[in-house]
Structure 1
Amino acid sequence: MRPRSGPTVEHRVLAARLRMLRERAGVSLQAASVALGAHPATVRRIEHAETGLDAHQVRVLLERYAVSAEEAEPIMAGIAAANLPGWWHAWRDAMDPWQQEVIGIESSAALVRAWHPALVPELLRTPAYEAALCRSLTADPPPRRDRHLELLAERQRRIEARGAALWALFPAAALRTTVGGPSVMAGQRAVLEEAAHRRHLTVQVVPLDAPPHPMTGVSPLHLLRVPAPEIGDRAVLETAGARVDIIDEPAVVMHYRVRLDSACAAAPHPGSPLPEGGPGSGNP
């Protein structure tokens, strides 16, 4: 069973290495499972980070793959750290399974790109803006909403603390959608205006009178890049009915990256003044 808090990137890296070592050795899932005395599904779950790493099982697999002691040593040494729960484990009561999957990757991402077709992207939201959205769009009880706000604040803090780049694109219509009232919107706008002075943060706003662009009509999207060769980029696409697709197929991820690149190229340059006239802007 997949760890309840979702696998960490360290866990994913070791799992991917075990798969690559098996494939390099030309050993099938069936043959690897025979070495373990287990079902092939057990090996598959190990390689997909869907179960904790057992040191004995890993050692047996490495021996079956004829991995040298020099190459096996860092893998064995990394098992304990890989099995530790992620920092987000403390908030698992306020998370859906897909959120655990996403935050597990986001927590080590060097670059997070975000698009939202109607609202300020999540990782740029103020607590007041997010709280107002939760009250309007969910039926969560206040304690769960509070935990969600704590988690979002911690995600934002950690991204900034490790110097990860956050690049967000959204339409000016988001600044005209009143979330929580004028004072909430004024606070949100101030944060967005201040973003132009932050080194690792890029914000682009598509004007109301802009023509259609490659992201027009696309659901909320996040692209996550982790600086580990064993882990490919991920696209996280939120679709109708609260469905979330976590995409790791390179061709599909590239498709969304190209569309987002094109939309960003067509949008005003980062650092351009925010459009005026929205709620809390102080303009009529």
Structure 2
Amino acid sequence: MNLDETQQRIRWVTFAVLIGVTILLLVLDSSGSLDNAFNFFEDPLTTVMGWTTTRVDTLIETFAGPEDLQAAQAEIEQLRVQVQALQRENEELREIEGEFQLMQDLFNRARESPEFRRLTASVIGYDTSPLFRSIILDKGTEDGVFVGMPVESARGLVGQVFRTTNHSAMVILITDNISSIPARLGDSRATGIVRGGGLGGVMAMDWLDLEAQINIGEVVYTSGLGGRFPEDIAIGRVTDLERREADLFQRAVVQPAVDFDSLEMVFVITDFRTIDTTIFDTIPEDLLPAP
């Protein structure tokens, strides 16, 4: 068989195959089988194409251009500024809440003893002298504040005014070593004198009857004796007892009711004038803190 005959035969076979495939497709199409065949191959291809598209989109987002990164950074910075603003607002609200609670406590204290006239004052300074325990208030003689006036907080007795200017007043604290307050115990009713311990010392109540049954935790109040302070202002609580058989009296260690390191606002009792202010005359003028 020569080359021409072989080529001729290939052409006829190819033509016959094409005719056969055409007839087969027509038959399948008329019976619906052709759609099933296409679906058989279409579903896997669709799944593969969908998975590929998703991964490509992810890669595009990951390797976004500089403009997208700048936009994201700008948004992050904006959110950071908003968070800082909210934090500042939260701190301001807490401070306002604290001031409101302080005023509420002072109001409640004033309501407990409405017979006294009180002037609200802010603590504007603490004396740093190693010899005195005192604070400075923002009210003075032009506001009706004078030497000898008692000073209290919502928790209890703070001290006594011992020096004034037109617009400020100095208050010696009950913990100062020259402070002495006639006092009584709330439960046992025993009386004595509360003395300040000064810097590093402890406040204590002296001259307590040796036979008095005193309990740890008893509240100590001003007794009103001597005319230096009104009665029934809380001074502190008994935390320990010192009792020796050789002594004629017992001694109680007293924890002050007031936290002097966190004082912000106080009351000056303006319609109570102490009878005796000579205790302040014992302080040399050159040792007094500057007004």
Pairwise same-fold verdict (TM > 0.5): no
TM-score of the pair, normalised by structure 2 = 0.21
TM-score of the pair, normalised by structure 1 = 0.21
Greater per-residue strand proportion: 2
Greater per-residue helix proportion: 1
